[in-house]
Amino acid sequence: MRDSLEELAIFGGVPAYGQMLHVGHPNIGNHERLLERINHLLERGWLTNGGPYVQELELRIADLLGVKHCIAMCNGTVALEIAIRAAGLSGEVILPSMTFIATAHALQWQGITPVFCDCDPGSHNIDPRRAEEMITPRTSGIIGVHVWGRPCDVEALAEIARRRHLKLLYDAAHAFGCSHKGRMIGNFGDAEVFSFHATKFFNTFEGGAVVTNDDEMAAKMRLMKNFGFAGFDNVVYIGTNGKMSEVSAAMGLTGLESLGEFIEANYRNYRQYKRELADVPGVRMITFDETEKSNYQYIVLEVDETVTKISRDQLVEILHAENVLARRYFYPGCHQMEPYRSYFPHAGLLLPETERLVQRVLSLPTGTAIGPNEITGICHIIRMVVSHGDETQARLLARAAR
């Protein structure tokens, strides 16, 4: 434990951790069970194309979420692209800028214009009032993103979609296993999309899924993810290759068996971070509604530089030096990334809350790889540099001037 600023790695001390602590270090279930499943699939000689593990995973996920259809895919981005196409989106689609770039790219990739909407500063999710203001005659839909796993204002968005005759999709990449008013995420809008990337608390190496209660849309997406094949030599639809492989599904089935443990570890970490950062002035941790189901997979802080006297970026730099790989998700906001920055150079004028937020947020390591000692160490570093904010700032400036 550091006792003084001089001991910080950024000022020449030894890093607090010998190994990197990552935000997205994978949770892996029982190794034997996984290897057993992989052995089976090798013996079976069935590696992909909707094999038995994929079918079983789809049924288990649909059952877990209480949703009619789950269509497993090769990753969350392709799952988004397919859901967007199956929903018939075109022209313009409204989405938050406060999201991972894949949400925007999945539209632009198909020649649909992403229209970036501001977020609510409290929830970090798309602001429905602003979204409605952005509707034009070319708007075909809205994509809400349940950022950090906290559900969007699904009632307000559904009402806007109904009144304005728009499709409504959700990018639920962060929200697997979460609920809203007791109903599992996966049951809102026309369809919802999950990512099961290695860095998500539940992963299939690479993977994703679209879930929906709409039979017609589900049937379309099943065709689309398999080149549009409806049987041997019979293509009935434009399609792509969005299939999940059997080895990914084996990982998913194994991970599902440990889902409770993953969430428990995240929840334990969340409670400890919350406790140990509670009275650090200028640092606010985002919280989850504990009456709902949450996966607690993101530990997110908002840093108010006017109080801490050091910026979010300086805090990230200090943590990186200690081998704590804090991340600035989703800096600088999709609208500030190419090609959108060039297409819409003035988009930021309509996104004041997003622009403010992306300068303030940072994500900290959690998951099964992080234990109480690491969390105490990370919180101690944050507390120390913030409680000596002016001195830390002076030292950082002196270091930069050298």
Note the residues at the interface with ligand T4K (CB under 6 A).
22-26, 75-77, 99-100, 102-103, 145, 171, 173-174, 195, 197-199, 208, 325, 329
Q: Please, which residue, 76 or 333, has the CB nearer to ligand T4K? A: 76
- 189 vs 208, beta carbon nearer ligand T4K: 208
Q: Rounded to the nearest whole angstrom, what is the least distance from the CB of residue 197 to ligand T4K in the complex?
A: 3
Q: Smallest distance from the beta carbon of 129 to ligand T4K, in angstroms?
A: 22
- Of 199 and 376, nearer to ligand T4K (C-beta) is 199
Backbone dihedral angles phi then psi of residue 92, each to the nearest 5 degrees: -120, 145
Gap between the Cα atoms of 33 and 31, Å rounded: 6
Could you give the CA distance from residue 340 to residue 347 in angstroms, rounded to a whole number? 9
Which residue blocks in 50-135 are alpha helix, DSSP H? Answer: 52-65, 76-86, 101-108, 128-133
Task: Report which residue's Cβ sits closest to ligand T4K.
Answer: 76
CB of 198 to ligand T4K, least distance (A): 4
* Nearer CB in complex with ligand T4K: 299/325: 325
User: Would you tell me how many other CB atoms lie within 10 Å of the CB of residue 71?
Assistant: 31
Residue 195 or 392 having the CB closest to ligand T4K: 195
Could you tell me the two tokens for 260? Answer: 């409770």
CB of 208 to ligand T4K, least distance (A): 5
CB 59 within 8 A of CB 82: no
Provide the minimum distance between the beta carbon of 2 and ligand T4K in the complex, in angstroms, as a whole number.
23
Q: Nearest approach, Cβ of 349 to ligand T4K (angstroms)?
A: 24
Smallest separation, CB 107 to ligand T4K (Å): 12
Query: Do 190 and 165 contact (CB within 8 A), yes or no?
Result: no
Residue with Cβ nearer ligand T4K (9 or 104): 104
Buried b / exposed e over 26-47, threshold 16 CB at 10 Å, is: bbbbeeeebeebbeebeeeeee
Nearer to ligand T4K, 16 or 102 (CB): 102
Residues 6+ positions from 335 with CB-CB distance below 8 Å? 97, 116, 341, 344, 347, 348, 351, 354
Q: What's the CA gap between 339 and 335, in Å, rounded?
A: 9
